[in-house]
Copies of this chain bind each other. A is one copy, B any other.
Amino acid sequence: MLDLSNEFAIGIDIGGTNTKYGLVNHRGEILQKGEIKTDAYLEVEDFVDALYDVLTPIIKENVEDGKVKGIGVGAPNGNFYTGTIEYAPNLHWKGIVPVTKLVTAKFGLPSALTNDANAAAVGEMNYGAARGMRDFIMITLGTGVGSGIVANGQLILGHDGFAGELGHTVIRPGGRKHWSTKLDGSLEAYCSATGIVMTAKELMENNPGVDCMMRKIDDKELDSKCIFECAEKGDALALETYRFTGQILGEALANFIMFSSPQAIVLFGGVIKAGDFIMNPTREHMELNLLPIFQNKVKLVFSELKEADAAILGASALVWDLRE
């Protein structure tokens, strides 16, 4: 058997404000990690230089006889095929940024890049809830709704590298207009943290006679955490907010299942902290909208990666599939 115990991967997660990095072993343990400010570097070359400066001592300290197999990078609008970040609205670097080319040149190591949700899916497949699965869908429910799809043991990237934008599929035609994409009734318009707050506000407005704890919270302060706390205290409209959100999510998941028939759907992100409040209606409406051949087969599971480390782990996992 191949000895993998002395092979290591570097994972880098580029966010709009911060970039996290870490050195990871084959079991998905982070040996050392840190972060730098993404927005402190106006030129991407300086950013890559800074990463080299912080990672070189980490590699020296932890990798003695072994070797670093490569560098995986997760980034918004990251394209696996080209290794470039393309027109990312929240980053300083404009246009098409040749990330893997710069990283490989600086570190002298192979590298791979993909978007955050795809990296999360690869992380779950290598170290998390989807270990050993060849067919699953990862859904990240946070400020936005992201997704990574694995079929036949491979990421589905599409002909251009942009596959897996399930948050933007329309699940309620003619429904709520998305604040940014302007699509009517997309999944993200309802099931992101932003969408959930909008649902709570709509419910309060449409039910003026119903007593509701959420009314006591300042309009600008109301977030999904507040709604969850009100739901825990039994507030009817907060509970209805989650029931409705779960229904929409369940309907969407049923459609996704009839597309790729996954063994499991792995959920990740702040929204699922609402637990049964959202998961019970999700499961119910997912099953209701499936053909019998798909019913009671697909596992709905939570991510098994620690939230703080998931992005680094996901990015690092890209390395294990790199060709030498």
Contact = CB atoms under 8 A, between A and B. Distances in A.
A258 interface: yes
Interface string A142-179: 00000001011010111111111110111111000000
Contacts of A170: 251, 254-255, 289
By secondary structure, the A interface counts as loop
B163 A260 contact: yes
B251 A162 contact: no
Contacts of A157: 152, 261
A128 interface: no
Contacts of A162: 261, 293-294
A22 to B, nearest CB: 29
Interface in A168-223: 168-173, 181, 183
Contacts of A134: 159
A294 to B, nearest CB: 7
A163 B149 contact: no
A259 B163 CA distance: 6
Contact of A251 (B154, B159, B165, B173): B173
A256 interface: yes
A198 B162 CA distance: 37
A166 B259 contact: yes
A261 B294 CA distance: 24
11 contacts: A135-B163, A149-B259, A149-B260, A151-B151, A157-B261, A158-B260, A163-B261, A165-B261, A166-B258, A166-B259, A173-B251
